[in-house]
Structure 1
């Protein structure tokens, strides 16, 4: 079963201009998902889809393929991830005359991923034909409220059982979907404009740093501090980078 990793990285960012090639701990953000895909050993092809020649050059140095430049209409603020992934898969299969079975989605703004999660997700799909997607999730004991629809300006609990309080150690959890950290899905889903399917395997992580998603200078600062702390105190979980081609 052939597996392709597709990493979106557009050039425009209003919150943090140039963020996808901004240096974090000496390496551009785009290097983090590329290195994770390479270190996982689970991906037959690793491509970056971008509208920026500058990002393309950097991505190639770190070992990804950039076979085409993404059309401008798919690199706008409101362009969806699903549209981007669908276009990238279709374009690459047409360009190479290859067909892929499993697609991996990783983002440059989520950097605290373990490459083993990528392999775990891909292997899960290979080993279970009924599974449609496997992706990273993070459990939380927090309660959530949603704004009511219509004219009612009130709020309701996300789930009725959240009205019952207990200690976090024994409380029922809900899970945050973190597909940007790791997501593997059947290729037919992406061809139909869907990122994940309905029959899923959650890859549960309990690491708080996985909640850091870089979209601002403050996010960037927090990630710098987190990397420094991990290197000093928990080096096995610090992000790993494969040095670029010179």
Structure 2
């Protein structure tokens, strides 16, 4: 079984200048994901895709990492992740059974998380997996404002007043781990399928570095 980990790391960033190469507790932010992938017992190859020459050179000098130049049109602030993954898969010589997306902005995700998530997926009936964490404020308790300026419950007007225990458990993706069968991804070009399972992580490990306060 061949498993490719893709780490997308563009050069630009609004919240933190050159975020993916910024020092995070003694090493570049991107290195945390590279290290976690390198120690995985399932990942066959690691690919860093970037539009930035410095990041690509850094990846090239890192043992066991493949570097791939990404087109500028796939490295904009509003660029979606899926086309970046499609470009990577179509520009690498080898074929893989599974794709694991590891975003460098999740440095506290560990090798153990990656391997446990992968084990959970291959031992299930699922075709893909997304790592998640609990949502502190239940979305069913939220309101929206209607066209007349009045508050209306997102789902209905009863749920905002329900005890949390009576509402269904909900999660949000934490951006740390995405796993999918490669053939299915190339067919759908989406990370979420009709058979997506979840891997739950703690709030602490779900840190997503976006702005300076996250880094601190």
TM-score tier, shorter chain, comes to 0.7 to 0.9
Matches within 5 A, 1:108-123: 108-123=104-119
Match of 2:27 in 1: 27
SS at match of 1:68: strand
SS at match of 2:116: helix
Match of 1:6 in 2: 6
TM-score, structure 1 as length reference: 0.77
Match of 1:88 in 2: 88
- Asked if residue 139 in structure 1 is aligned to residue 137 in structure 2, the reply is no
Report the alpha carbon displacement of residue 151 of structure 1 after superposing the two structures with TM. Answer: 3.5
Unmatched segments (≥5 aa) in structure 2: none
Describe the superposition over 1:165-204 as per-residue Cα deviations: whole angstroms up to 9, x where unpaired.
Answer: 257xx875311112x2112111123313101222122112
Match of 2:46 in 1: 46
Report the alpha carbon displacement of residue 213 of structure 1 after superposing the two structures with TM. Answer: 1.3
Report the alpha carbon displacement of residue 26 of structure 1 after superposing the two structures with TM. Answer: 0.9
Q: Give the structure with the larger strand fraction.
A: 2
Distance 1:172 1:141 in 2: 13
Aligned residues: 211
Match of 1:165 in 2: 163
TM-score, structure 2 as length reference: 0.86
SS at match of 2:91: helix
- Which of 205, 209, 212 pairs up with 1:214? 209
Match of 1:65 in 2: 65
Describe the superposition over 1:66-125 as per-residue Cα deviations: whole angstroms up to 9, x where unpaired.
Answer: 342101110011110111111111211xxx1x2211100111111111212211222334
Match of 2:99 in 1: 103
Report the alpha carbon displacement of residue 158 of structure 1 after superposing the two structures with TM. Answer: 5.0
CA contact (8 A) 2:5 2:37 kept: yes
CA contact (8 A) 1:22 1:29 kept: yes
Distance 1:212 1:126 in 2: 26
Report the alpha carbon displacement of residue 141 of structure 1 after superposing the two structures with TM. Answer: 4.8
Would you identify which runs of 4 or more consecutive aligned residues in structure 1 move more than 6 Å?
Answer: none
CA contact (8 A) 2:131 2:177 kept: yes
Distance 1:119 1:100 in 2: 17
CA RMSD of aligned residues (A): 2.3
1:152 to 1:138, Cα distance in 2 relative to 1, 3 A: farther
1:173 to 1:16, Cα distance in 2 relative to 1, 3 A: same
